[in-house]
Amino acid sequence: MKLNINTASKANLPTTSAQRNIGSYGDDTAGPTLLCICGIHGNEPSGLQAFHRVLATLKEEEHEVRGHLVGLAGNLKALKQKVRFIHEDLNRIWSVARITRVLEDSVSGNFQNAEEEEQAEILHHLEEIFSQSKGPIYVMDLHTTSSVSQPFVTINDTIRNREFAKNLPFLMVLGIEEFLDGTVLSYVNELGHIAIGVESGQHQDPYSIVWHELAIWLALAHSGCLQSELPHHIKEKVQLLATTEKNVFEVRHRKELLKNEQFEMNPGYTNFDNVKKGQVIAKNVHGNIQVPEDGQILMPLYQKLGEDGFFIVRQIKPLWLGISKWLRSKGVHRLLPYLPGIRKYQGQGHELLVNTKIAKYYVIEFFHLLGFRKKTQMGRHILFSRRKYDFEAP
């Protein structure tokens, strides 16, 4: 759904705009817009620092751009207090229903909590940035993790997101939105813009800033925004990383944290460590927590605040990525409602209901290949929804 967020302009907005807009570079010429969202989690300031570095170099070396680069700070109150969030995770409240209510609340200025106030103001800025843009829009959401990590990119699995994310010399994780509701990336994606998340490393690791800086420069270059050459120190890093592996993974499992379960990761796990089915990697009030299937661990929780204990991901072979792109380009998904056990949901073409008693094997994998995400499980039925704007902008 394309949201009309005009109401935010008339609302009583909080007065923190000066810090919200962390800077921009470019001019009025038609060209792409690259928007960086920095610190939507308040204990992750790396993106802000990287953005300032990029901005300083752009100005100092007088780089030429078409379109512009703009940076928005995420959770300002939480950034000040150096905590992930104040009342709730600002990166889990971007559902259509929630946004509609927050926009209503913004008219009176009576917000229900700190994060809703932050969200209203970010929405206002997004509306302004998107409406003024004179070309394609690219959004990068800059994060870090509580565990030690090599940098990786997370995307909603559209071909357009994949192609753009491939320009970064990092590992890629597809389909995390199937497990996380209400992320800002999904919201922006649904509007039809290309959107990628960059998890650059551990919160306090100085290299996290370096990788975020590299990500911003490469996004500037590959979006067509940057007209001059990359700065010398960035070119050096690109060369250094030219031969690193850029494996692609899909998310298979999320350990959701329940209230008062006293979840505790066993020490020593870092992102993309191999784990085996049955391996004990954490504990809670009920005892040991085992890994449900072979794979690699992602984002094990080594901080107090958070709703995800860990994720399990699995590598996708390049061949399957190629097959998936080809199948989607041929529109194979249109044949699905004619297969046994599959029917359109409430007459909608982009949502399909699958009876797993009839369609039994590799159902989720097959639907992923064709560009669908699993929405919900309803008894023996699974509801899949096809991702919008897979190949083309709206």
- 158 vs 200, which CB is nearer to Zn ion? 200
- Closest residue by Cα to residue 118 from 34, 16, 47: 16
DSSP for 198-247 reads EEEEETT-HHHHHHHHHHHHHHHHHTT-B-SPPPHHHHHHHHHTTTS---
Bridge pairing between strands 248-256 and 381-386: unpaired
- Closest residue by Cα to residue 2 from 385, 388, 333, 344: 388
Sheet with 280-284, edge to edge strand ranges: 264-265, 280-284, 287-290
Which stretch, 34-42, 258-266, 347-355, 370-378, contacts Zn ion (CB under 5 A)? 34-42
On the CB side of 155, CA atoms within 13 Å amount to 27
- Closest residue by Cα to residue 143 from 84, 220, 219: 84
Output the smallest distance, CB 302 to Zn ion, in A: 13
Residue selected from 22, 39, 41, 368 as contacting Zn ion according to rule CB under 5 A = 41
Q: Which residue has the tokens 């100005």?
A: 59
- 41 vs 63, which CB is nearer to Zn ion? 41
Size of site (CB under 5 A) for Zn ion: 3
Q: Does 203 bind Zn ion (CB under 5 A)?
A: no
- 33 vs 145, which CB is nearer to Zn ion? 145
- Closest residue by Cα to residue 253 from 328, 336, 182, 311: 311
The three-class DSSP label of residue 334 is helix
Binding residues among 43-82 for Zn ion as defined by CB under 5 A: 44
> How far apart (Å, rounded) are the C-alpha atoms in residues 129 and 153?
24
- 142 vs 352, which CB is nearer to Zn ion? 142
- 77 vs 143, which CB is nearer to Zn ion? 143
- Closest residue by Cα to residue 265 from 300, 292, 311: 300
Output the smallest distance, CB 44 to Zn ion, in A: 5
Residue selected from 68, 143, 222, 333 as contacting Zn ion according to rule CB under 5 A = 143
- 63 vs 255, which CB is nearer to Zn ion? 255
Q: Side chain identity at 63, as an amino acid letter?
A: H
- 143 vs 252, which CB is nearer to Zn ion? 143
Taking each helix axis from N to C end, the angle separating 206-222 and 46-60, rounded to the nearest 10 degrees, works out to: 50
- 180 vs 291, which CB is nearer to Zn ion? 180
For residue 195, how many other CB atoms are within 10 A of its CB? 29
Output the smallest distance, CB 173 to Zn ion, in A: 14
For residue 196, how many other CB atoms are within 10 A of its CB? 25
Output the smallest distance, CB 191 to Zn ion, in A: 21
Which stretch, 21-29, 42-50, 52-60, 316-324, contacts Zn ion (CB under 5 A)? 42-50
Could you tell me how many residues make up the chain? 394
- 43 vs 133, which CB is nearer to Zn ion? 43
Output the smallest distance, CB 109 to Zn ion, in A: 28
CA angle 106, 111, 114 (to 5 degrees): 120
Which stretch, 137-145, 183-191, 302-310, 349-357, contacts Zn ion (CB under 5 A)? 137-145
- 186 vs 324, which CB is nearer to Zn ion? 186
Output the smallest distance, CB 374 to Zn ion, in A: 23
Residue ranges that bind Zn ion, judged by CB under 5 A:
41, 44, 143
